[in-house]
Amino acid sequence: MTEQPPVSGLSLGDARDAALERTAQYVLRAWNEFDHARERETLPDAALAELLHAPLPEEGGDVLAMIDHAVEVLDASLAQSRPRYFAFIGSSGLEVGALADLLAHSYDINLAVDARAATQLEWQAVHWLAEFLGFPAATGSFTSGGTISNITALASAREAAIPGARRRGLAGERPTMYCSSEAHYSITRAAEVLGIGADHVRAIEIDDERRLRPDRLRERLAADVAEGFTPVAIVATAGTTLTGAVDPIDELADVAREFGVWLHVDGAYGLPAATVASTRDLFRGVERADSITVDCHKWMFVPKACSAVLVRDGSTLTRAFAHDEAYMPHEGEQFNAVDITLEYSRPFRALKLWLALATHGAGALRDAVARNCEQAQLLYALAREHESLETLVNRPQLSITPLRVAVPGCADLDAHNEALCSAMQADGRVYVSPATIDGHAWLRPCFTNFRTSDDDVRVLVDVVVELGSRCAILHG
């Protein structure tokens, strides 16, 4: 007699095959759809609203019906995978990345501790990534995002600048951090959570190309040191969130060396462009940094969440994070992952980057990044040619091309462009987010999707011009 498997109310049991098949069909349909833009976004309807206000079910329902509902929700949501999603800094749900997630989540491996082969693969992915970006990493880890990667790196910087700070706290210390006035808020957040204090983040002036000015940094550092502050880190942004400006890393590395300060490169968005011939020079000096952040869930196309923090000297991470607990013992230098990470339980994020690189090769990722940079230049050229469109004076450095509509006779161009952005979002053909640059309202398209075509860029211009010409209707 064959033994019956134990029955659990949480197993799909007989519905398992059908559930997997139904999900696979939906995934396939979505991927096929994402190859092209859809005419308009699908908005949540009344039936969906009812579903989304349903009370907590005590008894479950049919899994196939519930999968259908889940897909209805997804379909009426903003998907960054669609080729005309140009808002914020998107990604594009790379197909093999999604498959890796399904596999990784099914096995539910925890990288808080040694997970055998998965841990080895994470090391391999860290080293592949380091080689790809040209950074001499001793070690690193995959985190939930650029914010956590930056906090992780800056915690190491704090411990390096003020040894013992993690135990004693910062009483009596006056730590400072330095970044461009257009650095991402996660740098300020790191200062807040690390006890450095947001007021001690020195937002250094930028130049005409919106890059941190090394001369101003040097002046500020000298003044702070003279006043008894302890500089913890200089943060170079390699691709600002606002316009994609890349700070002069090599010159900042000179300043860091001069003052003996940690150099962190926040390349959450832009660092993959260091691999592309046309933009490589912008990143000169990245190999001199103490630590770098790169979000694989941005411009390496894999689904969220997958960021990486890499460090030049592995002991800097262990000095900041290593610990011994009764439930987490280790022998001597045999560190657990939690001895170099901020997080404890950690999903197997490395798998999606590994599968992406193994399946497509580094060259395909590089080419896709290069194409996005070209699309930003194409948009810049199209906007410059058009009499009713304005751009920033300088060409895009990476893949963000701010633009705005200037309709003759329009009394308030900022109100107009804000209204235009909302109108475009409601229209649904393209999705763009707004931004305030030098106090004015801009549309801020960003290209980080391998599915975006040059035609999609042209459609973006057409929609901006079409809706933007209705100045009076938009805010009259």
Ligand X SMILES: Cc1ncc(COP(=O)(O)O)c(C=O)c1O
Distance of alpha carbon 40 from alpha carbon 267, whole angstroms: 33
Indicate the residue among 400 and 464 with the shorter CB distance to ligand X: 400
Indicate the residue among 145 and 396 with the shorter CB distance to ligand X: 145
Binding residues for ligand X, per CB under 6 A?
89, 145-147, 150, 184, 186, 237, 241, 266, 268-269, 295, 307
Q: What is the nearest approach in angstroms of ligand X to the Cβ of residue 205?
A: 18
**Closest residue (Cβ) to ligand X?**
146
Distance of alpha carbon 471 from alpha carbon 8, whole angstroms: 61
Distance of alpha carbon 242 from alpha carbon 166, whole angstroms: 33
Indicate the residue among 270 and 468 with the shorter CB distance to ligand X: 270
Distance of alpha carbon 286 from alpha carbon 362, whole angstroms: 19
First to last CA, the chain: 80
Q: What is the nearest approach in angstroms of ligand X to the Cβ of residue 186?
A: 4
The 10 Å CB-count burial string (b at 16+, else e) for 146-182 is bbbbbbbbbbbbbbbbbeebbeeebeebebbbbbbeb
Q: What is the nearest approach in angstroms of ligand X to the Cβ of residue 150?
A: 6
Q: Where are the alpha helices (DSSP H) in 16-93?
A: 16-34, 46-51, 63-75
Indicate the residue among 189 and 360 with the shorter CB distance to ligand X: 189
Q: How do strand 307-311 and strand 291-295 relate by DSSP bridges?
A: antiparallel
Indicate the residue among 147 and 397 with the shorter CB distance to ligand X: 147
Widest distance between CA atoms in the chain: 87
Indicate the residue among 175 and 244 with the shorter CB distance to ligand X: 244
Q: What is the nearest approach in angstroms of ligand X to the Cβ of residue 241?
A: 4
Partnered with residue 142 across adjacent β-strands are 308
Q: What is the nearest approach in angstroms of ligand X to the Cβ of residue 266?
A: 5
Q: What is the nearest approach in angstroms of ligand X to the Cβ of residue 187?
A: 8
Token pair of 138, please? 């001793």
